[in-house]
């Protein structure tokens, strides 16, 4: 593909998962001969396993204790990983670049009042007028100050305060679809010349009883032991195993990146998100249409990073489409190694893909029974994310 000044390139990566903090442990994962067993926590929220957050020195990116104290962990994780991305791009100490940098964040809500949630669930077991019950408890038990302290756009606000990123700011909500829309918006703004550099990403903390309650409300959470993502089944308690994830990227136009001598990890060639009803083959039709962005790619040098949630039926449907649309291309269900990161899932996939392309990695299988080995170094990557209830997205990347 011919290079152009308005190509969208990745120049900074800030990543935190159960695998570790920063690029190094993730490069090690992507370049290893074998992926090895991921880190998993099975006791704290039994019977629900989660991929835990690694040990983090928050002061490395959030130096003021006062700033740390006024954030919940999901905000700290977002601000921390955003700082890693800015550092990696060489922009953290450039006040003019940060002042003109656009920021697009994907975020969920803050930690809920578990006591109120538990009270509502317990009372709902005794009554049939549950809508009335819900209104009663929300008006008498909920603390408005708790809600106001945990609004989704506070992640972006705290990034602005701590890292002085003060250009335009947008926040998307809506689980996986929010992460897809955040990156897609940044991509098209740069492509259209409306932005020259942007900080984009999201953060998600899995170690929360309220989140587990939300997912298990539709019986979507895995139970029992960990299994690789494509090997999960209804018999072994298959489903979503969530992971604490922070994933931010610095995106720039090629002209802006080259003018300042930035290291380019990869080029984003195309990106699109979609959503809609999944009945009667509609999901498959949408995924096949999205896959059209990757037409013409070969098999030996292209790796497909699937952000499948692990829901058994949904994962099986996605894998059929991937095998049909990308024949011969190795598929990697990266959520099996990191956990499912909700809003951060799509930015995480892009980060892993960019690191793989930058290192010409032969990415090891994360599920050896269901993923073929790579026979050559990665030169192209396809990243998908299919939301556990709604929202689909796909991106195509090429090595710099």
Per-residue pLDDT of the chain (400 residues; tens, 9 = 90+): 678 889 999 999 999 999 999 999 999 999 999 998 899 999 999 999 999 999 999 999 999 999 999 888 999 999 999 999 999 999 999 999 999 999 999 998 776 777 888 888 888 899 899 889 988 888 888 776 556 656 788 899 999 999 999 999 999 999 999 999 999 999 999 999 999 999 999 999 999 988 998 899 899 999 999 999 999 998 888 899 999 999 999 999 999 999 999 999 999 999 999 999 999 999 999 999 999 999 988 778 999 999 999 999 999 999 999 999 999 899 999 999 999 999 999 999 999 999 999 999 999 999 999 999 999 999 999 999 999 999 999 999 999 8
pLDDT value of residue 150: 65
Tokens of 137: 């408890």
In angstroms, rounded to a whole number, what is the distance separating the alpha carbons of residues 400 and 393? 22
Diameter of the chain measured on Cα atoms? 66
pLDDT value of residue 140: 87
In angstroms, rounded to a whole number, what is the distance separating the alpha carbons of residues 49 and 224? 7
Counting Cα atoms < 13 Å in the Cβ hemisphere of 297 gives 29
How many other C-beta atoms can be found within 10 angstroms of the C-beta atom of residue 208?
Answer: 22
pLDDT value of residue 137: 85
What ranges make up the beta strands (E) of the chain?
8-17, 20-21, 102-106, 169-172, 197-204, 245-253, 266-274, 302-306, 331-333, 380-386, 392-399
Reduce the DSSP state of residue 210 to 3 states and report it: helix
pLDDT value of residue 273: 97
CB 315 within 8 A of CB 232: yes
Beta-carbon contacts of residue 224 (< 8 Å; ≥ 6 apart): 47, 49, 236, 237
Extract long-range pairs of 125-131: CB within 8 Å, 24+ residues apart: none
pLDDT value of residue 114: 77
pLDDT value of residue 248: 98
Signed CA dihedral, 73, 78, 84, 86: sign only: negative
Residue with tokens 């299988």: 365
Q: Are strands 392-399 and 380-386 parallel, antiparallel or unpaired?
A: antiparallel
How many other C-beta atoms can be found within 10 angstroms of the C-beta atom of residue 141?
Answer: 13
Report the Cα 224 to chain-centroid distance in Å. 24
């Amino acid at each position: 593909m011919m290079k152009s000044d308005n190509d969208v390139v990745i120049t900074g990566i800030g990543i935190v998962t159960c695998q570790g903090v920063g690029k190094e442990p993730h490069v090690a994962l992507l370049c290893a001969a074998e992926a090895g067993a991921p880190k998993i926590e099975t006791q704290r929220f039994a019977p629900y396993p989660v991929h835990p957050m690694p040990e983090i020195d928050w002061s490395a990116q959030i130096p003021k204790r006062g700033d740390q104290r006024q954030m919940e962990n999901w905000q700290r994780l977002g601000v921390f990983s955003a700082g890693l991305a800015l550092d990696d791009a060489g922009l953290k100490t450039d006040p003019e670049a940060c002042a003109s940098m656009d920021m697009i964040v994907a975020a969920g809500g803050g930690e809920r009042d578990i006591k109120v949630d538990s009270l509502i669930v317990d009372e709902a077991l005794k009554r049939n007028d549950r809508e009335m019950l819900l209104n009663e408890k929300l008006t008498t038990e909920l603390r408005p100050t708790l809600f106001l302290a945990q609004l989704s756009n506070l992640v972006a606000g705290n990034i602005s305060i701590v890292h002085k990123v003060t250009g335009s700011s947008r926040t998307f909500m809506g689980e996986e679809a929010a992460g897809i829309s955040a990156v897609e918006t940044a991509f098209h703004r740069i492509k259209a010349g409306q932005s020259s550099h942007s900080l984009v990403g999201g953060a998600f903390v899995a170690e929360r009883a309220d989140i587990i309650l939300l997912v298990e409300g539709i019986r979507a959470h895995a139970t029992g032991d960990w299994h690789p993502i494509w090997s999960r089944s209804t018999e072994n308690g298959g489903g979503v195993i969530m992971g604490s994830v922070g994933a931010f990227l610095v995106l720039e136009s090629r002209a802006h990146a080259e003018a300042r001598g930035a290291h380019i990890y990869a080029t984003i060639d195309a990106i699109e998100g979609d959503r809609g009803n999944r009945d009667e083959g509609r999901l498959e039709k949408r995924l096949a249409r999205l896959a059209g962005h990757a037409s013409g790619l070969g098999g030996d040098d292209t790796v497909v990073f699937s952000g499948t949630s692990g829901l058994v039926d949904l994962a099986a449907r996605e894998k059929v489409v991937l095998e049909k649309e990308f024949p011969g291309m190795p598929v990697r269900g990266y959520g099996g190694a990191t956990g499912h990161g909700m809003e951060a899932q799509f930015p995480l996939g892009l980060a892993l893909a960019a690191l793989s392309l930058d290192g010409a990695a032969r990415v090891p299988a994360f599920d050896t029974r269901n993923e073929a080995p790579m026979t050559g170094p990665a030169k192209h990557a396809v990243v998908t994310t299919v939301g556990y209830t709604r929202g689909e997205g796909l991106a195509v990347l090429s090595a710099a």
